[in-house]
Structure 1
Amino acid sequence: MTDYADLARQLAPAIAASAPGRDAERLLPFDVFDRIRASGLGAARVQKELGGGDVSQSVVAKIFITLGKADPNVAQGLFPHFMNIEQLRLMASPEMQARYLAKIGEGQLSSGAVAERGGGFRGEIHTHVSQAEGRKMLQGSKFYSTGCLFADFIKVQAVDEEGGALYVMLPRNADGLVLKDDWDGMGQRVTASGTSEFHDIVLSDEQIIPIHHWSGRRSYVGAAAQLIHCAIDVGIGLAVLEDAIYWAKNHTRPLRESGVSKASEDPYILYAIGEMSTRVRGAEALVRRAAEHVELACLAQLEDSRQGCFATEETERLLVRSSITTAEAKIASTDAALYVSQRMYDVGGAATTQKRFNYDRHWRNARTHTTHDSVAYKYKAIGNYLLNDAPPPITFTY
């Protein structure tokens, strides 16, 4: 039986070794994704009967902590693939699951194009499927298409002519599909999060998955997505901690007034390292706790779906609890990643700011990745739940 967490650990050293150079030169990690594809890691959450491992959400968290520590760009680039699996398992028909999840079980990687610019609110979708002369065609564009350049096929979120939500599945080489490497963020520079365009792409029925019946309904998928984001941020924090410890042991010089002969005995260096470790390890513990709650909600809702319902009353309770625990983990992991990535310079001093070490990538990656969701609203949701027994909003961010 494949140990998928161990697969990630085996891949990590080579990914980590080349991460600083990829960031500095802005080199997209096509070779890394080829190795991930060949390893079979992408099948971790696919059902066993379709060629996967059907691992728990706790294992998923371990995988993304490991990859996030090695290179959060790679981890984020793989994130849409794992979310596609969850969405297909929960929302697609058995026939569609067999069609697309089996591809992943065979080793293919997927990605997703969801977020668009414009509109009055985040999350509005204008990419659409229209019918003309008996043909269905996809038209529109996405501003964020993370990981699509690395994928074998992609999932596009769109709407039909009545505004009903759809997933559209496209092969990477579909006629009319344009993927651009135009993401220029200060951090997460090589996630391939650029623009995608859909120019009158002709579709078959087998490429369209209606999901309008899920609109306004709570699912575990949002919490599962947040769990991965949390794990990536913990991974960044662990990488910073490792670099800070290495630097303190090998390069930091003590101040004359410290009264010690080496930095590893300086009380303020010890304090800084201890504080950094506590923040990151505390966040990691909350992520592992959240993973257990997401797993309970996941198992319950997948069983409900097999029985023909969206969620029983007990499953709703589990879904709410999983959203709250992941919100707590998201706050902690955000704070930890941002704090330690700037605190490191108190350990290493001016020498660690040299461009050749590229330690600033940690902060740039953390700051960029943690902008995905507002933690202010997560504080509010947690407080409202604890004080008023109010469930969090039904969105992809809970």
Structure 2
Amino acid sequence: MSAIYETAVQTARGEPARDAHLIASDAEAIDAARALAERLAPGAAERDRERRLPYDEIDWFSQSGLWAITVPKAYGGAGVSHVTLTEVVKRVAAADPSLGQLPQNHFGLVDVIALTGTDEQKRFFFGEILKGKRFGNGFSEKGTKNVLDLKTKVIRDGDGYRVDGTKFYSTGALFAHYVPVLGIDDDRKGWLAYIPKGTPGLSVIDDWSGFGQRTTASGTVRLDNVRVPASHVFAAHRVSDQPTLNGPLSQIIQAAIDAGIAHAALDDTLRFVRERSRPWIDSGVERAADDPLTIRETGRLVIQLHAADALLERAARTLDALAAQREVSEDDVARASVAVGEAKVLTTEIALLASEKLFELAGTQATLAEHDLDRHWRNARTHTLHDPVRWKYHLVGNYYLNGVAPARHAWN
């Protein structure tokens, strides 16, 4: 029976065998992402078909140094730009979007440390990341009123904290060295407890059965009277109570993943049409690639993808400009959320369109299971459900028409 259907608690794989490579610049990060993508892409379809969890591949990923590229320069990291970060995520997601999604929460959690941590906490956790340690997540819960209706408790207990609750959609937790868990105290303020894998009472369960993003292991995390030292707990409520770029950062990474899926779908469309597809009998051409209607639809897809890429880069440059300021205002955060929201609309739509148009343009042969081309649509449809893009239209329109700033949270 596939491991995805087992309910056995998964254990950590232990410490990294060696410290991760230390990336020193934006250019080096792009080069590392390009090399990693070339290594990941050949096995992506097989991993998807077999639901084979990418234990080796995620080690390649973190050992490359790419999981540490947002650690600030003052603490030994590369402190790369948002432009570079989105390009790295997009390249990896184009090769394998499950692997592209795994560090999404990690990067957001690095930012939480930078925003709310003491110098001692920053030195410890940034040092762990630079060695190759990975953060998973225990944020969302099933069966609640909405995504902000949390039941998990993080309660002060003596000189530390106690955590109790159950999480789901816990992307990356299975592969993580730390599982940061979001919970509330008795005053309903949010706290993040960065819990080391192997802590008594922490269980990470491989029960993710989604039809897309199959190897993200986005299943259950259970917390039963988990004790956490105070040094591992952060005031998550401060990230949204005050103006910060944490929400736009989280969202732009999600948009980059969708852009990567779109690139992969379009690349496979072009390859299949050139190499395997047959022209329609009324087209009067010998090659499917010379069919004028196929050419037209291909042009439309390319233009829409380039538009999505352009808005994604524009949003990243907006974040870079704001991050360079000494502090950000409420108006700055609103501008950032709107810019990222615009990009996310187009990346969502082109990911879904390109992965569906693949079959229309490539033909019936493209539906054969041996090609596994349906994974692009399954991945796009699953990942774009993270937050409804219809609300991004509302967010953008309300900002420009009525001057209403978006609500500050991780989904804006």
TM-score (ref. length: structure 1): 0.94
Deviations 1:252-298, CA, capped at 9 Å, x for gaps: 11122211121121101111211111111111111011111122233
> Cα distance, 1:205 vs. partner?
1.5
Conservation of the 8 A alpha-carbon contact between 2:135 and 2:176: yes
Corresponding position of 1:78: 103
What runs of 5+ residues in structure 1 fail to find an aligned partner?
305-310
Corresponding position of 1:181: 206
2:230 maps to amino acid: D
Deviations 1:44-91, CA, capped at 9 Å, x for gaps: 000123221100000001001101100110011111111111111112
Conservation of the 8 A alpha-carbon contact between 2:159 and 2:229: no
Percent of paired sites with the same residue: 33
2: distance between equivalents of 1:61 and 1:361? Answer: 22
SS of the residue aligned with 2:102?
Answer: helix
Corresponding position of 1:318: 332
Supply the RMSD in Å over aligned alpha carbons.
1.5
Structure 1 runs (4+) greater than 4 angstroms displaced:
131-135
Conservation of the 8 A alpha-carbon contact between 2:167 and 2:222: yes
Does residue 366 of structure 2 align to residue 352 of structure 1? yes
2: distance between equivalents of 1:288 and 1:272? Answer: 25
> Cα distance, 1:143 vs. partner?
1.2
Corresponding position of 2:18: none
1:270 maps to amino acid: I
Does residue 355 of structure 2 align to residue 330 of structure 1? no
Residue of structure 2 aligned with 1:43, choices 68, 93, 116:
68
Conservation of the 8 A alpha-carbon contact between 1:68 and 1:236: yes
Does residue 275 of structure 2 align to residue 250 of structure 1? yes
> Cα distance, 1:316 vs. partner?
2.6
1:9 maps to amino acid: R
Corresponding position of 2:77: 52
SS of the residue aligned with 1:261?
Answer: coil
1: distance between equivalents of 2:131 and 2:119? Answer: 17
Conservation of the 8 A alpha-carbon contact between 1:137 and 1:200: yes
Matches within 5 A, 1:138-149: 138-149=163-174
1:322 maps to amino acid: A
- Change beyond 3 A, Cα 1:27–1:55: same
2: distance between equivalents of 1:24 and 1:209? Answer: 39
Conservation of the 8 A alpha-carbon contact between 2:92 and 2:99: yes
Conservation of the 8 A alpha-carbon contact between 1:283 and 1:332: yes
SS of the residue aligned with 1:110?
Answer: coil
Deviations 1:140-170, CA, capped at 9 Å, x for gaps: 1101210011111121111223322211011
> Cα distance, 1:227 vs. partner?
0.5
Deviations 1:321-370, CA, capped at 9 Å, x for gaps: 11101111111011100011111112111000000100000000000000
Conservation of the 8 A alpha-carbon contact between 2:112 and 2:236: no
Conservation of the 8 A alpha-carbon contact between 1:51 and 1:106: no
> Cα distance, 1:377 vs. partner?
1.3
* Deviates further, 147-156 or 23-32: 147-156
Conservation of the 8 A alpha-carbon contact between 1:293 and 1:318: no
SS of the residue aligned with 2:209?
Answer: coil
> Cα distance, 1:136 vs. partner?
3.3
Conservation of the 8 A alpha-carbon contact between 2:331 and 2:405: no
1: distance between equivalents of 2:84 and 2:107? Answer: 12
> Cα distance, 1:214 vs. partner?
4.2
> Cα distance, 1:117 vs. partner?
1.8
> Cα distance, 1:215 vs. partner?
4.6
2: distance between equivalents of 1:74 and 1:163? Answer: 33
- Change beyond 3 A, Cα 1:105–1:133: closer
> Cα distance, 1:135 vs. partner?
6.1
Conservation of the 8 A alpha-carbon contact between 1:16 and 1:71: yes
Deviations 1:175-210, CA, capped at 9 Å, x for gaps: 111001101111011101010011111222212222
Conservation of the 8 A alpha-carbon contact between 1:272 and 1:346: no
What runs of 5+ residues in structure 2 fail to find an aligned partner?
1-23
1:278 maps to amino acid: I
Conservation of the 8 A alpha-carbon contact between 2:115 and 2:239: no
Does residue 377 of structure 2 align to residue 363 of structure 1? yes
Conservation of the 8 A alpha-carbon contact between 1:116 and 1:123: no
2: distance between equivalents of 1:134 and 1:329? Answer: 44
Conservation of the 8 A alpha-carbon contact between 1:293 and 1:322: yes
Conservation of the 8 A alpha-carbon contact between 1:167 and 1:210: yes
Residue of structure 1 aligned with 2:148, choices 123, 126, 133:
123
> Cα distance, 1:373 vs. partner?
0.9
- Change beyond 3 A, Cα 1:112–1:266: same
2: distance between equivalents of 1:15 and 1:344? Answer: 22
Corresponding position of 1:308: none
TM-score (ref. length: structure 2): 0.90
1:339 maps to amino acid: L
Q: Provide the aligned length of Structure 1 versus Structure 2.
A: 387
SS of the residue aligned with 2:137?
Answer: strand
- Change beyond 3 A, Cα 1:133–1:89: closer
* Deviates further, 126-135 or 288-297: 126-135
Does residue 391 of structure 2 align to residue 377 of structure 1? yes
Matches within 5 A, 1:183-222: 183-222=208-247
